[in-house]
Structure 1
Amino acid sequence: MYKKIGLAIAFSPRIEALIAEAKRLVLLFDAELLLIHIGEKTPELEDKLKEILINQGLNESNVRVSWKQGKPVKMLLQTCRDESVDLLVLGALKKEGFLTYYLGSVARKIIRKAPCSVLTLISPKIDGGSFSKVVINGTQLEVTPKVIEYGLDFCKIAGVQQVHILNEIKLYGLQMATAGEGSEEEVANTRRKLVQDEIEYVQQILNGLDKGDLRINIKVTAGKWSIELAKYCEVIQADLLIMGDNKDYSFIDRIFPHELENILENLPTNFLYIK
């Protein structure tokens, strides 16, 4: 699935934890590891990095380091393109969607413009974390079948225990369907029909996929879906949220970038953005 994993590093207190997490992913996907540092290369930093790599059982034979200078976003994205990186791993703070070493919208620019999938980790662990409860965005968008397929492939390889696919009732559909003088029972029946339609949409996608041993739960909510995704992740204490991107947006997909912004403003958990 991923043949080359890039890890953006800065010499922050969490650098070893991020490298440990990247190593776990490399082993899971049998991939190469490329460390990318945008900043000055000094003997002190080289020595510090070498010490961390030794601590993690890594060395120059199984990991490469790319030292670049220039504008962080431009150089990081260019390196991913030049090196044919499949998955870029970033460290992120839970609030504001910041990278630990970049500020503000820079993090969002990287995720939006990256030529590959991006995994942001808000709480990397030196002893190697794992993903057990994963939420996948199942909202009806053109890209959703691809997101679910790739998301399940990731979950199978990562040994995930429980997958939740979250869909939504279209509020405008509910409002239009219940705008008349129908009884409470008729309104309730209409709502149940809309919920069932959304479940069937996801189920039809799942029917054509290899689900392995994954336990999959389909959940339908009503409300602004980016907000509902974040809420649901917090309620079930999910350790990964998976969304996706389609550069050729259809009319209905044009709202998607705005919903992504809402998610990134306050990351509810670790975040995989599939390209």
Structure 2
Amino acid sequence: MLSIQRVLFPTDFSDGSKRAFPQAAYLADWHDANLHILNVTGRHYHDHEEARANFPIPVDALTEWLQHPEKSITGANWPDLETLSITQEQVESAEPAEQIVAYAEDKAVDLVVMGTHGRRGVDRMLFGSVAEEVVRKAPCPTLTVRNNADRAPSKAVRRVLAPIDFSDASKVAVQHAKEIALTYGAEVDLLHVVEEPVYPSAYGYEAAAFPTAEVLENVEAQLADLAREKIGYEHIMIEARTGEPSREILDYIDNNEVDLTVIATHGRTGLDRMLMGSVAERVLRQSPTPVFVAKPDRTSLVSPDAPEAPAVQN
């Protein structure tokens, strides 16, 4: 199961940050975790006085952010904010990302949940500045919710996508996808994209025909084995396809009613800057779904003593 004791929700009161609040509150409530709400402000911000006046955020305002429908979506247990353990803190700084990461480190936060488009930096995605830096440098997994996506993120997650490349990092993502799916009672999709080799003309010869059908068949067999070994329950879809990975992943999300995407970064321990890689970064920037980023060399939410999934008998 997932081990979550502290969830951090950074907010700048923008619609972008509010969009991520239901996911933060739901996960904190489900895991009996403390929800930390952090606002970074400063006198140089045009909304500084407004931020000071509206903090700490009253429960009735947070309830509006929760976007609780009149009739709950089937399968969604909505948190009671009156009983949820909530800690609120406001700090002044000109470096919001630095403060968010420092807070996560100081409070031993297990998961950061945040929006990717805020009030500041109107001419660019917040993900290109604050959220991107937090995703790269946070000591724990992150869950980002895009503000300008075409559709609102589902509050009842029914389908979780885990794109994998069979690396150790992507297998960590599969472990998290499984546990997240169990939290929501969702299905899991495993997707692998085979890149066909392209040789520059300077090599002086044309590439041999790529055995696509054979390769895809082999990959899907490997995906099936991985599903049995790491997930072990029947609500799993597997698919192998060819193409450019990030483009195919985004296409799969658009056409398969995916509610949440779980992807791993390929970082190196000791680097000050987390190297996400072009595929993960493009998915984070463009996915209409919330994106959970697992970090193989940072804190994991999967309990180390969690038993392996039992094999499914055919």
Q: Which residue of 2 aligns with 1:196?
A: 217
Partner secondary structure for residue 247 of structure 1: coil
Q: Which residue of 2 aligns with 1:38?
A: 40
Partner secondary structure for residue 27 of structure 2: helix
Structure 2: stretches of 5+ with no match in the other structure = 43-47, 67-79, 199-205, 296-314
Q: Which residue of 1 aligns with 2:280?
A: 260
Do the aligned partners of 2:136 and 2:275 also contact (CA within 8 Å) in 1?
Answer: no
Question: What is the CA distance between 1:205 and its match in structure 2?
Answer: 2.3
Q: Which residue of 1 aligns with 2:159?
A: 133
Match of 1:20 among 19, 22, 36: 22
d(CA) in 2 for partners of 1:132 and 1:85?
A: 26
Do the aligned partners of 2:153 and 2:259 also contact (CA within 8 Å) in 1?
Answer: no
Question: What is the CA distance between 1:149 and its match in structure 2?
Answer: 1.3
Question: What is the CA distance between 1:119 and its match in structure 2?
Answer: 0.6
Structure 1: stretches of 5+ with no match in the other structure = none
Q: Which residue of 2 aligns with 1:7?
A: 9
Do the aligned partners of 2:193 and 2:241 also contact (CA within 8 Å) in 1?
Answer: yes
Q: 1:265 to 1:128 in 2, by over 3 A?
A: closer
Cα distance per residue 1:6-49 (max 9 Å; x no partner): 11112124665543332211122222111111115865212654
In the TM superposition, what are the counterparts of 1:67-216 in structure 2 within 5 Å?
67-70=90-93, 71-93=95-117, 102=126, 104-122=128-146, 129-160=155-186, 162-172=187-197, 179-180=207-208, 190-212=211-233, 215-216=235-236
Q: 1:24 to 1:221 in 2, by over 3 A?
A: same
d(CA) in 2 for partners of 1:107 and 1:43?
A: 22
Do the aligned partners of 1:20 and 1:128 also contact (CA within 8 Å) in 2?
Answer: no
Q: Which residue of 2 aligns with 1:245?
A: 265
d(CA) in 2 for partners of 1:14 and 1:107?
A: 11
> How high is the sequence identity, in percent, across the aligned residues?
18
1:52 equivalenced with 2:61 (yes/no):
yes
Structure ranking higher in helix proportion: 1
Q: 1:199 to 1:126 in 2, by over 3 A?
A: closer
Q: 1:218 to 1:77 in 2, by over 3 A?
A: same
Cα distance per residue 1:173-192 (max 9 Å; x no partner): 9xxxx944x7xxxx6xx322
Do the aligned partners of 1:16 and 1:126 also contact (CA within 8 Å) in 2?
Answer: no
Question: What is the CA distance between 1:216 and its match in structure 2?
Answer: 0.8
Do the aligned partners of 1:28 and 1:158 also contact (CA within 8 Å) in 2?
Answer: no
| RMSD over equivalenced CA pairs, Å | 3.4
Q: 1:269 to 1:149 in 2, by over 3 A?
A: same
Partner secondary structure for residue 115 of structure 1: coil
Match of 1:232 among 252, 257, 266: 252
Q: 1:47 to 1:139 in 2, by over 3 A?
A: closer
Q: 1:210 to 1:112 in 2, by over 3 A?
A: same
Partner secondary structure for residue 46 of structure 1: coil
Quick one: which amino acid aligns to residue 130 of structure 1? Answer: A
d(CA) in 1 for partners of 2:292 and 2:38?
A: 19
d(CA) in 2 for partners of 1:266 and 1:77?
A: 23
Do the aligned partners of 1:24 and 1:128 also contact (CA within 8 Å) in 2?
Answer: no
Question: What is the CA distance between 1:128 and its match in structure 2?
Answer: 7.8
Partner secondary structure for residue 163 of structure 1: strand
